[in-house]
């Protein structure tokens, strides 16, 4: 469990630290705002591909060794940023780190489920907490470290925790159960479910997940540069992003504790979308005076929206295996869509020298998604299953699905 926690700490800093270091990066490289957005877009896009092709990734070396390879790739990519500090080098290392993150994020949950079974909820809680903590720390300390190490040294410093986590992982997982390897190649294609892609509900869930994830990626990439542009200290800009991520984590834990009391998810989904829209509206109208309330509102809204988007996808299918495949498609496509949000924001910033238009568009998009959420009724899940000709799952499979939802 310690190894999983240490690995998870390294899954956000590659993205989270960029926003806090935007000023020195833009001041010393010709990358521009569009290129800065690309440094967030690339890893998130690759995370999406990793979710869709998780079975193929698992078939290469197996879960245990693939996760170790992912950790080493993250460590190497971070270290290379000390020397490859030009625009091309930053994009190249962002791609490398994104591959490593995609591998670990795709395989760690299934590895944990295979080895912890009844305790999977506790392990995924530790794993999720590590992701949030890593992002919060990276955003909060990046500006302070840059004053001592330079922005190149700050980005490269994350190679140390990534390498250490990989070593601990290899030691801790020696006797663990791990699935995969070359013997899985034949079964990978057989387990594919192409008919899921042709269903309109799959696409609406994918877009819904993409908007919610895009809101968080937009905040992570551009809130620090936004406040730097308002002449706020770099340390305060990073602190505001840390507040958002901590509130998001606390809210997500609250969702996990109480979601089983609300089988119809439309009420909390609507509340979360209104809260996200209000947070972005506050950034447009009163970003300095109401900075902390804006961060709290965004953290609460995203903290509800992200886990519920996954839970709603799982709700649609009773069979655990097909539900897992379906959720991978929804998350993978959603991450790919979300990955373009920071890039588009960078383009807007280059054109308008401001992000107010982006906050406004994200607020409007969140309100529009309320109409989509209104269609996610429990009755619509039954119609979806009937359209796919899926029979009700056996009792044991339903119990397994309830554990997935938890």
Identify the pLDDT of residue 406: 56
Identify the pLDDT of residue 312: 84
| CA–CA separation, 321 and 307 (whole Å) | 19
Per domain, the residue ranges of the chain are 1-174+182-191, 193-406
Task: Look at residue 94 and tell me whether its pLDDT is greater than 90.
Answer: yes
Q: Which pTM was predicted?
A: 0.79
Task: Look at residue 190 and tell me whether its pLDDT is greater than 70.
Answer: no
Retrieve residue 260's tokens: 């089983």
- 128-163 pLDDT tens trace: 778 878 888 888 888 889 888 999 999 999 999 999
Identify the pLDDT of residue 278: 97
Of 56-70, 85-99, 112-126, 179-193, the least confident = 179-193
Identify the pLDDT of residue 178: 60
Q: Which residues contact 158 (CB under 8 A, 6 or more apart)?
A: 10, 13, 14, 17, 74, 78, 138
Q: What are the respective helix, strand and coil percentages of the chain, to the nearest 5?
A: 85, 0, 15
Task: Look at residue 125 and tell me whether its pLDDT is greater than 80.
Answer: no
Identify the pLDDT of residue 194: 43
C-alpha dihedral, 101 to 103 to 108 to 111, nearest 10°: -170
Of 121-125, 146-150, 174-178, 264-268, the least confident = 121-125
DSSP 79-135: HHTTT--SHHHHHHHHHHHHHHHHHHHHHHHHHHHHHHGGGHHHHHHHHHHHHHHHH
- 48-75 pLDDT tens trace: 888 888 778 877 777 888 899 999 999 9
Identify the pLDDT of residue 319: 67
| CA–CA separation, 97 and 10 (whole Å) | 10
- The answer to whether 1-174+182-191 and 193-406 have equal CATH topology is yes
**In 117-199, alpha helices (H):** 120-157, 159-172, 185-190
Query: Is domain 193-406 annotated with CATH 1.20.1250.20?
Result: yes
Identify the pLDDT of residue 163: 97
Confidence of residue 321 (pLDDT cuts 50, 70, 90): low
Three-state SS across 206-226?
HHHHHHHHHHHHHHHHHHHHH
* Greater pLDDT, 311 or 231: 231
**Over residues 287-298, mean pLDDT:** 95
Of 5-9, 12-16, 125-129, the least confident = 125-129
Per the prediction, the chain carries an average pLDDT of 84
pLDDT > 70: percent of the chain: 86
| CA–CA separation, 209 and 334 (whole Å) | 5
Identify the pLDDT of residue 220: 86
- Residue 227 phi, psi dihedral angles, 5° rounding: -75, -30
Identify the pLDDT of residue 398: 53
Identify the pLDDT of residue 223: 92
Q: What's the distance, Cα to Cα, between the start and end of the chain in Å?
A: 18
Confidence of residue 295 (pLDDT cuts 50, 70, 90): very high
- 334-362 pLDDT tens trace: 889 999 999 999 999 888 888 999 999 99
- Identify the CATH homologous superfamily for domain 1-174+182-191: MFS general substrate transporter like domains (1.20.1250.20)
**Over residues 282-306, mean pLDDT:** 93
Identify the pLDDT of residue 77: 96
CB 241 within 8 A of CB 226: no
The structure tokens 């969702």 sit at 255
* Greater pLDDT, 371 or 306: 371
**Over residues 81-94, mean pLDDT:** 92
């Amino acid at each position: 469990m310690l190894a999983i926690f240490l690995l998870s700490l390294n899954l956000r800093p590659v993205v989270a630290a960029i926003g806090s270091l935007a000023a020195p990066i833009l001041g010393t490289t010709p990358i521009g705002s569009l290129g800065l957005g690309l440094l967030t877009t690339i890893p998130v896009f690759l995370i999406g591909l990793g979710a869709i092709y998780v079975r193929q990734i698992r078939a290469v070396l197996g879960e245990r060794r693939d996760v170790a390879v992912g950790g080493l790739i993250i460590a190497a990519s971070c270290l290379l940023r000390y020397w490859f500090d030009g625009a091309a080098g930053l994009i190249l290392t962002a791609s490398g780190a994104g591959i490593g993150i995609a591998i670990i994020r795709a395989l760690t949950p299934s590895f944990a489920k295979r080895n912890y079974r009844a305790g999977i909820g506790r392990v995924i809680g530790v794993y999720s907490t590590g992701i949030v903590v890593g992002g919060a720390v990276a955003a909060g300390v990046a500006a302070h470290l840059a004053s001592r190490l330079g922005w190149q040294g700050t980005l490269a410093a994350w190679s140390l925790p990534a390498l250490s986590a990989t070593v601990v992982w290899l030691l801790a997982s020696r006797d663990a159960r791990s699935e995969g390897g070359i013997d899985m190649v034949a079964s990978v294609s057989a387990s594919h479910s192409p008919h899921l892609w042709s269903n309109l509900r799959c696409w609406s869930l994918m877009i819904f997940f993409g908007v919610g994830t895009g809101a968080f990626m937009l905040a992570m990439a551009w809130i620090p540069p936004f406040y730097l542009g308002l002449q706020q200290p770099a340390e305060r800009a990073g602190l505001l992003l840390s507040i958002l991520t901590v509130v998001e984590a606390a809210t997500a834990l609250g969702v996990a504790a109480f979601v089983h009391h609300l089988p119809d998810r439309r009420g909390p989904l609507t509340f979360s979308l209104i809260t996200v829209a209000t947070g972005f509206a506050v950034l447009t109208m009163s970003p300095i005076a109401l900075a902390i309330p804006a961060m709290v509102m965004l953290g609460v809204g995203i903290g509800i929206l992200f886990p519920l988007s996954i839970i709603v996808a799982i709700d649609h299918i009773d069979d655990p295996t097909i539900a897992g495949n379906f959720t991978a498609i929804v998350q993978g496509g959603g991450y790919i869509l979300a990955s373009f949000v920071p890039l588009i924001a960078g383009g807007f910033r280059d054109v308008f020298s401001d992000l107010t238009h982006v906050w406004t568009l994200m607020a409007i998009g969140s309100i529009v998604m309320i109409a989509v959420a209104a269609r996610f009724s429990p009755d619509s899940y039954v119609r979806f299953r009937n359209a796919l000709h899926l029979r009700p799952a056996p009792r044991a499979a339903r119990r397994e699905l309830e554990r997935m939802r938890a």
